[in-house]
Structure 1
Amino acid sequence: MRELKEINRDLELSNQNMLELLHQHLSLKAEAMEAKKEGRLPILEDQSKMDGEKRITGLKDSPYEEELQEILHTIETAGKRVGSKCLFDFNIALIGFMGAGKSTISRYLKDKLAMEEVDVDAMIVKDQNMAIKDIFAEHGEEYFRKCESEAIIRLKDCRQSVISCGGGAVIREENVTNLKKISRIVLLTAAPETILSRVKTSDERPILNGNMNVEFIKELMAERADYYRKAADIIIETDHKTMNQICEELIQALILLKEQEKK
């Protein structure tokens, strides 16, 4: 059996070699993302996870398979994060009518780009220790809007985040101003019929309580339309598209916006 001193020396050398390889790996991830941007190629088509599974298969008889899988997952997440940093030096704030897909798209982007996910409504629920419908019932909409504005102010230190905003958040100009300080604002749109199909089984939409129909939704959407469009840096329609199509379109639009801002 080798002496401990010799083993520790080899461990130190192994650590250094791993760090160098990891640095090379992440540098290649960044280079690949820049190539995608330059060539206007799809951003979300990423075979890294599949390739990682192939690599780990060769070690499936290893006594350290579980630990290796965990390390591989961490490396893949870090690679996604490096890629998202190449894409954006700002947060992405999602706005739009309830049911437009903000929360769903936020989760998808979090998974694909390893960005942080922030849900403003969830922040309010946690702060107030009650559901949004109960806040409306006990304190009224104006109190809720005040909580919403306070929550958005607290996001000033957010970085590399996807921020999902409530349907009425941009009605207050101060919220738009504070979001634009740290984010690019993306308006998600959908037809009233689509909105109804997505929210009709929910009891967490206090503004629609007793008015769960296309006519009311269309009317309320019309009232908010100017607020949404004035706040938005880009607009993405979500009807009849897959989640991947929506997010790819969103990312490409933000890349173009960033390029235009540099000119």
Structure 2
Amino acid sequence: MPAMENIAGNLFLIGLMGAGKTTLGKYIAQSLNRPFYDSDQEICKRTGVSVPTIFEVEGEQGFREREAAVIDELTSLQNIVLATGGGAVLRDENYRKLKERGTVIYLHVYPEILLERTRFDNNRPLLQVEDPLAKLKELYDTRDGIYRSAADIIIEANRTNGHKTAEQLLHILQRNAQTGQP
């Protein structure tokens, strides 16, 4: 296996809310000694308010505008690990920038598992509905194909041990660096 330093370029994590993008992203960034960014956290830091507050005041469209600006800026950096918001790839400009500026990694998780992971999280505006599982299934049905088409690597992140998932991803990245694949 090549050294971790041989893994070049930006790494962008995509997937539904609760897939583990932030948790896995931090671990991968630390393992590769790279800066980690979470697009939702960057938006909150810059606005001084939470994602639900932005949704409440500006609506989803306002949030998506802010998200596009942050993604444009962050994907222009070099050798970073970026966890995107679940809906980031729905906007053509974000999709294109992620594909052009780094390796896109889709963390695939089934809706039932996502519900368990997000059940008590009030910072997920799209899940503040009567039937969050139905909403997650709807989001999954709408987005899974888009995530798959954007991804250079698809990781099954359904297991509860995020450390094993991260090790699996690092192994794939090392193997791809050795063979010259994204």
The verdict on a shared fold, with TM-score over 0.5 as the criterion, is yes
1:192 aligns with 2:111: yes
Contact 1:100/1:189 (CA < 8 Å) preserved in 2? yes
Superposed CA offset, 1:41-90 (max 9, x none): xxxxxxxxxxxxxxxxxxxxxxxxxxxxxxxxxxxxxxxxxx5322x211
Question: C-alpha distance in 2, partners of 1:223/1:209?
Answer: 18
State how 1:17-166 maps to structure 2 within 5 Å.
36-37=1-2, 83-86=3-6, 88-166=7-85
Question: C-alpha distance in 2, partners of 1:212/1:121?
Answer: 24
Superposed CA offset, 1:197-224 (max 9, x none): 1111111000111245322211221011
In structure 1, the gaps of 5 or more residues are 1-35, 38-82
Contact 2:159/2:165 (CA < 8 Å) preserved in 1? no
Contact 2:12/2:104 (CA < 8 Å) preserved in 1? yes
Q: Which residue in 2 is equivalent to 1:171?
A: 90
Which is helix-richer, 1 or 2?
A: 1
Question: C-alpha distance in 2, partners of 1:135/1:144?
Answer: 6
Q: Secondary structure at the match of 1:254?
A: helix
Q: Which residue in 1 is equivalent to 2:127?
A: 208
Q: Secondary structure at the match of 1:100?
A: coil
Q: Which residue in 2 is equivalent to 1:183?
A: 102
Runs ≥4 in structure 1, deviation > 3 angstroms? 255-258
- Give the Å deviation of 1:177: 1.3
The 1:218/1:146 distance shift into structure 2, 3 A limit, reads same
Contact 1:102/1:188 (CA < 8 Å) preserved in 2? yes
Question: C-alpha distance in 2, partners of 1:113/1:105?
Answer: 12
In structure 2, the gaps of 5 or more residues are none
Q: Secondary structure at the match of 1:160?
A: coil
Question: C-alpha distance in 2, partners of 1:119/1:217?
Answer: 21
1:231 aligns with 2:156: no
User: Greater relative contact order (Cα 8 A, min sep 6): structure 1 or 2?
Assistant: 2
Superposed CA offset, 1:90-143 (max 9, x none): 111000000000011012123322221011011111222211000000100011
The 1:235/1:156 distance shift into structure 2, 3 A limit, reads closer
Give identity over the alignment, percent. Answer: 33
Superposed CA offset, 1:177-200 (max 9, x none): 112232100000112111011111
Q: Secondary structure at the match of 1:163?
A: strand
Contact 1:124/1:147 (CA < 8 Å) preserved in 2? yes
Contact 1:196/1:212 (CA < 8 Å) preserved in 2? no
- Give the Å deviation of 1:260: 4.8
Question: C-alpha distance in 1, partners of 2:57/2:125?
Answer: 12
Partner AA of 1:162 in structure 2? V
Q: Which residue in 2 is equivalent to 1:68?
A: none
RMSD in angstroms over aligned alpha carbons?
A: 1.8
- Give the Å deviation of 1:255: 3.4
* TM-score normalised to structure 2 length: 0.91
The 1:84/1:211 distance shift into structure 2, 3 A limit, reads farther
